[in-house]
Amino acid sequence: MHVAAAIFDLDGVLADTTQAHYLSWLRLAKEKGIYFDKQINERLKGVSRMASLEILLERSGREFSAAEKASLAAGKNNYYREIIGSLTPEDLLPGAVTVLDACRTRGIKTALASASENAPDVIKNLGIAPLLDYIVDAKYITNPKPHPDIFLSAAMGVDAEPRFCIAFEDAEAGIRAIRAAKMMAIGIGCRKRLCQADMVFASLADFSLGMIPPFCV
Ligand code: B16
Ligand code: MG
């Protein structure tokens, strides 16, 4: 058995964009007079833009029409794009390039499974587009994380069988999605929060391919 592909989440795994999402939602919430804090923000990790907006609006105390929601989501996205426009390779998280490079060296395909429709621009600005064989287009994923769809789509994109894939996530919903896809789940972040993962590391800098149990490599 061998690892055929390594699949990566973006925000919180490869890139330090979690804060950019947070600041963009905070700006929108302040503008609209809606309560928002870091605890609510935790629930938005790995969740699509529209689903994140629904969570934000839980505290608004009023109903919003579909058109209003579309405009609010577009507003948040504009704020987010203002920030990601100035991303550079310095905004990569520790270990990201090392692990991507190690996959390349060992002939392991690499794919990106991010819920973010901005992922291609983020990847380009971070300078790691050449290190990724496939980027899932989040627009075409009907069932979001914790459904396995985005990870299965990533595996298909690099022509790898799910059981030979390892996948990295910082969100609980993402770990559940990986497990549902029957892949090895590697959590990046808090061990307690990501306890459903097969392994958890504080960051990619603490991980190396040699840590994958021999029967998988
Ligand atoms: P966008 P990931 C997710 O990315 C973020 O964690 C989540 O906070 C965000 O709402 C979502 O992407 C959608 O992003 O608004 O740019 O389409 O963690 O799956 O890489
Ligand atoms: Mg994430």
pLDDT digits (tens, 9 = 90+) for 154-207: 999 999 999 999 999 999 999 999 999 999 999 999 999 999 999 999 999 999
Which one from 11, 91, 149, 170 is the annotated catalytic residue? Answer: 11
14 close to ligand 1 (CB < 6 Angstrom): no
Concerning whether 11 is annotated as a catalytic residue, the answer is yes
Residue 44 has pLDDT above 80, yes or no: yes
Residue ID of nearest Cα to ligand 1 atom 17: 116
Sheet containing 165-169: which strands, arranged edge to edge?
134-135, 109-112, 5-8, 165-169, 184-188, 199-201
H, E, C per residue of 122-189: HHHHHCCHHHCCEECCHHHCCCCCCCCHHHHHHHHHCCCCHHHEEEEECCHHHHHHHHHCCCEEEEEC
* Ligand 2: centre distance to CA 116 (Å): 9
**Angle at the Cα of 21 (from 109 to 175), degrees rounded to 5?**
45
For 98-122, write each residue's pLDDT tens digit: 999 999 999 999 999 999 999 999 9
76 close to ligand 1 (CB < 6 Angstrom): no
- Report the candidate in 45, 39, 41, 43 with the shortest Cα–Cα distance to residue 23: 41
Residue ID of nearest Cα to ligand 1 atom 15: 49
Provide the pairing of β-strand 165-169 with 184-188.
Answer: parallel
